[in-house]
Amino acid sequence: MKILASAFALAILPTLAIPAPPANAQDKPTWAFPVTDKEQPDIKPNTAPRSAAGSAKSYTRAQADNMFDIPDWYPEMYPKLPKIVANGNAPNVRACGSCHLPVGAGHDESAYVAALPAAYFIRQMNDYRSGARKGSGTMQQIGQAITDAEIKEAADYFASLKAPKWHRVVETDAVPKTYIGQGNKRLIHPDGGTEPIGNRIITVPEDEEIVLYRDPRKGFVSYVPKGALAKGAELVAGVPGKTVNCAICHGPDLKGVADIPPIAGRTATYTVRQLFMMKSGERAGPQAALMKQVVANLGLDDMLNIAAYTASLDP
């Protein structure tokens, strides 16, 4: 029966869109889901306070990493920080501004939350709380512990921000050798050297010190395989049998419409993680259902190309 069924399937397949295999744990692209390497390069930690041009503040690495009192390098760059963003609510609600930064643009391993529609932001927090959205243990824990009033305060703060240009996308064959440092952060390996990019996106800080000290002035460069941008642009416009034109829902410039989030200028690896988890079912909130048909026939390379292209756009 099995043979017959697959022979039948083969006979009709050419007339149908060939579905990409389902996304499952085995094909999780490890480059998009960075996890701190067990073995770390031997770098002597700098314990001296750091100062920064144009800032009256100085912080040590330990102070910059305090998840209940975030570094406030440039108070004039952003509105007054609400308590939930600057201090969180110990012990279980860490300060949002620690990982997402006061400018909301975040790091490669977290998420770019500046200028997200408040209604969308609140829905995500509820999805983390219910477990419908997975992919970040921290966010699920925060979702459980945070109050509705705190969610609203954080949502309104980040929604009020201008979305900064945070990503530079470069097509290349070779990338610097990297490792995953503390906090799931991809950094350039101190030993130097390059390696083939393969089918990956490699995102590293424009300036490592700025990122390590959670200074909000500069973002990231994403290296992508040659040709990714053009292929991504084609997919985003909609390819029959593959996917739907993203602008239908995300708006003509992909900057979001009502409570549908912007996808332009966001972190490339983050976008890959979301497309992957929407396909695998790890991100399955009530509104994520609208993305089901969009991702159903996308393979990993398609997700990579889409993410490269959307990250390259102005946010």
| Spatial distance between the Cα atoms of 100 and 216, rounded to a whole number of angstroms | 10
Q: Which residues of 74-98 are buried (b: 16+ CB within 10 A; e: fewer)?
A: beeebeebeebbbbbbeeebbbbbb
CA 196 to chain centre: 23
86 is a contact residue toward ligand HEC (CB under 6 A): no
Handedness of CA 271, 160, 167, 142 (dihedral sign): negative
17 is a contact residue toward ligand HEC (CB under 6 A): no
Q: Please list, in sequence order, all residues whose beta carbon lies within 8 angstroms of the beta carbon of residue 25, skipping any fewer than 6 positions away.
A: 280
Site for ligand HEC in 208-247 (CB under 6 A): 236, 243-244, 246
Nearest-approach distance from CB 10 to ligand HEC, in angstroms:
28
70 is a contact residue toward ligand HEC (CB under 6 A): no
∠ CA 201-175-227 to the nearest 5 degrees?
A: 55
Q: Report whether 68 contacts 51 (CB < 8 A).
A: no
Other CB atoms within a 10 A radius of the CB of residue 307 amount to 29
96 is a contact residue toward ligand HEC (CB under 6 A): yes
Nearest-approach distance from CB 306 to ligand HEC, in angstroms:
5
Nearest-approach distance from CB 97 to ligand HEC, in angstroms:
8
∠ CA 67-89-48 to the nearest 5 degrees?
A: 20
145 is a contact residue toward ligand HEC (CB under 6 A): no
Residue (177 or 299) nearer to ligand HEC, CB: 299
Interacting residue with ligand HEC among 250, 280, 311, 315 (CB under 6 A): 250
Nearest-approach distance from CB 12 to ligand HEC, in angstroms:
26
64 is a contact residue toward ligand HEC (CB under 6 A): no
163 is a contact residue toward ligand HEC (CB under 6 A): no
159 is a contact residue toward ligand HEC (CB under 6 A): no
Residue (84 or 204) nearer to ligand HEC, CB: 84
167 is a contact residue toward ligand HEC (CB under 6 A): no
∠ CA 270-273-276 to the nearest 5 degrees?
A: 150
Give the residue among 146, 155, 141 at the shortest CA–CA distance from 104: 155
201 is a contact residue toward ligand HEC (CB under 6 A): no
The structure tokens listed for 205 are 């800080």
202 is a contact residue toward ligand HEC (CB under 6 A): no
Report the interface residues with ligand HEC, using CB under 6 A.
67, 84, 88, 93-94, 96, 98-100, 109-111, 113, 116, 120-121, 123-125, 135-136, 138-139, 142, 146, 154, 236, 243-244, 246, 248-250, 260-261, 263, 270-271, 273-275, 285, 287-288, 290-291, 294, 306
